[in-house]
A and B are shown apart, each in its own frame.
Chain A
Amino acid sequence: QVQLVQSGTEVKKPGASVKVSCKASGYTFTSYYMHWVRQAPGQGLEWMGVINPSGGSTGYAQKFQGRVTMTRDTSTTTVYMELSSLRSEDTAVYYCARSWDSGSAADYWGQGTLVTVPS
């Protein structure tokens, strides 16, 4: 069965970086894109970007350009999302979610990783 298992809760200081992992299993890792979506407390879903695990190409939301880096490790079927220069507004639950291609629906989601940046 398809599973996306994310790393655990993080508490970071302002200005620091955080790297969240998402380990995929139960399917061919390189056949599906992986998106990162975040949700601030009490707020809606916000798309951050997408990575193609096959070649490693990425696409980021303009809001996060220069601050986010998405990578993958095909040997461990894991994708990573690193966000730098953290501020209190980055406090959110971060989700990975796979899709057939960059514009198709995300059919499986990770359980979410809470990142807290105290103000």
Chain B
Amino acid sequence: QSVLTQPPSASGTPGQRVTISCSGSSSNIGSNTVHWYQQLPGTAPKLLIYSNNQRPSGVPDRFSGSKSGTSASLAISGLQSEDEADYYCAAWDDSLNGVVFGGGTKLTVL
């Protein structure tokens, strides 16, 4: 059971906009920044969004992040087949004194 809650799956057709939610509590998302990682099959995770809504260099602006209270969201617009991957949210937890991850969301591009 993960500390952060994500839907196990999401899907969309090419060109569509999809969102993935991440729910936490006051000790993690409520008091710290949220980061999102993309993991393509058989590869290491890759940083997609940091500090709630910042994109590292090289990440397309189709990817965006937001946070409100104890929840966060990742939005992907103009969905492409290469976006098919697992997506994880993460945050520091002040009570656990460590990083907590969501369980991951498998995105399927139909």
Task: Give A contacts to B, CB under 8 Å.
Answer: 35, 37, 44-47, 49-50, 59-62, 95, 97, 102-107, 109-112
Contacts and interface: CB of A to CB of B under 8 A. Distances in A.
Contacts of B63: none
B56 A47 contact: no
Given A103-B32, A105-B35, A111 B101 contact: no
B56 A45 contact: no
Contacts of B102: 44
Interface residues of B, number: 27
Given A59-B97, A105-B51, A107-B56, A45 B88 contact: yes
B45 A46 contact: no
A56 B17 CA distance: 44
B99 A35 contact: yes
B62 interface: no
